[in-house]
Amino acid sequence: MSTEAFEPELMDYSRRQPRLPEPVIEGNDALDIPLDERMEMYRLQQELRQFEKRAYDLFMQNLVKGTSHLSLGMEAVATGFGRALRPDDYSFATYRGHAHTLARGAPMGPVMAELLGRSNGILGGKGGSMHLASVEHGMMGSYAIIGAHLCIANGAGWSAQLRGTEQVAVVFFGDGTTNIGAFHEALNFAKIWELPVVFVCENNLYMEYTPIDLVTAVEHPAADRATAYGLEPILVDGNDADAVYDVAQGVIETARRGEGPSLVEAVTYRHGGHSRADPGKYRPPGEVEAWLDRDPIITYHQRLLRLGVPEGDLTRIAQDVARRVDEATEFAKAGPVPDEGDLMTDMWADGGSAWRN
């Protein structure tokens, strides 16, 4: 970084040049993806979008406490990978994990109830927004301190390799994670052991409140590091579910065949701030608007219309999802608050938490 960056006016990131999205690639209409699958991906993106919007509304109503990190605007990544995975594959996410949890099939009601801290939450209220998991769906957890979970995903891949199950572990992380040591340890380790792990960087251009390019030695925080670990640099439009799905199928198959790990950088954008507390004012004028025009769901909707899907079919999907999100909300609100009997359980595998006799 040049010393100019320390000039006070340049430290106001909202005065930088906006980073604008690439245009939609209409050619991706021709990707070899069956229409049925595309309809499922449309439905899933609607679920993720409407769930996150509802989560935001419930925050505003003070029904969700603590913090929350929404994936609004980033749904295509979770969708493309989620749909490409086998049911017994493993997913690992960061604190921004609602979408990745739902994308594996975890039911919306218990996930919503977890955000509300209810005992019918998917973790009984003990994990909350930043620690969502659903082992039965292969969603092996949301890890709220970035980095470690790349190493842990390696372990799931190693286990699959040892058991000979051809399962694959996919681990999602943000652009900020590429600057922590565990990222580098994990990639090197995965490569030398040829582990069936797919590392997916969701590059939304900001590490929390700071533009990623100001704190990273290379332009593409993940892809430009790939060759250092013997991997191919893979960049994908993270706002196009078809493009993501296409890349995901390839790298997941590579891992499943025993040909080792991959590192994918999906370029996307979060519509909101880093977390509930962040209005995102560090973003230059015009930038958010330009990315809203590249909204993955709007553009996917347009693609499906181009492919001949009647508008009414898409409307029905959106309405059906809205009804299910309402049901999930009611399920969550109706859930009891955890009681004292829940506090001391499940620290140990015996179900308890005794540390002395």
Partner 1 sequence: MAELSYRDAVAYGIAQEMRRDPNLVMLGEDIAAAGGVFKTTVGLLDEFGPRRIRDTPISEQAILGAAMGAAMTGIPVIAEIMFSDFLAVCFDIVANEMAKSRYMTGGQMTVPVVVRTANGGGSRFGAQHSQSVENWCMMIPGLKVVAPSNSRDVVGLMAASIRDPDPVVFFEHKSLLATKGEVPEGEIVDELGKATVVREGTDCTIVALALMVPRALAAAERLAGEGISAEVIDLRTLVPLDTQTVLASVAKTNRLYTVEENPRLCGWGAEVASIVGDEAFWDLDGPLVRITTPHIPLPAAEALEDMAIPSVDRIHETITKTLD
Using CB under 8 A as the criterion, which residues of the chain lie in contact with partner 1 when the complex forms? 90, 121-127, 131, 133-135, 140-141, 143, 145, 147-160, 162-163, 169, 181-182, 185-186, 188-189, 192-193, 345-349, 351, 353-357
Q: Which is nearer to partner 1, 120 or 299 (CB)?
A: 120
| Sequence-distant (≥ 6) Cβ neighbours of residue 56 within 8 angstroms | 68, 70, 72, 272
**Residue 53 to residues 21, 37, 112, 262, Cα–Cα distance (Å):** 23, 24, 12, 32
Measured over the CA atoms of residue 10, residue 12, residue 18 and residue 21, the dihedral's sign is: positive
- β-pair partners for 170: 91, 198
Q: Which residue has the tokens 């990639």?
A: 187
Name the minimum Å distance from CB 212 to partner 1.
22
Q: Which is nearer to partner 1, 302 or 353 (CB)?
A: 353
Q: Which is nearer to partner 1, 28 or 179 (CB)?
A: 179
Long-range contacts formed by 37-42: CB under 8 A, 24+ apart: 37/83, 37/245, 38/242, 38/303, 38/304, 38/307, 39/304, 39/309, 39/313, 39/317, 40/83, 41/79, 41/80, 41/83, 41/241, 41/242, 41/245, 41/300, 42/297, 42/300, 42/301, 42/304, 42/314, 42/317
Residue 134 gets which letter from DSSP?
B
The H or E element containing residue 174 is: strand 169-174
Q: Which is nearer to partner 1, 307 or 344 (CB)?
A: 344
Q: Which is nearer to partner 1, 151 or 235 (CB)?
A: 151
Name the minimum Å distance from CB 112 to partner 1.
15
Name the minimum Å distance from CB 111 to partner 1.
13
Q: Which is nearer to partner 1, 8 or 356 (CB)?
A: 356
Q: Mark residue 65 as left, alpha or beta (left: phi above 0; alpha: psi -120 to 50; beta: remaining).
A: beta
Chain centroid to Cα 234, Å, comes to 17
Q: Which is nearer to partner 1, 193 or 209 (CB)?
A: 193
Name the minimum Å distance from CB 114 to partner 1.
9
Name the minimum Å distance from CB 89 to partner 1.
11
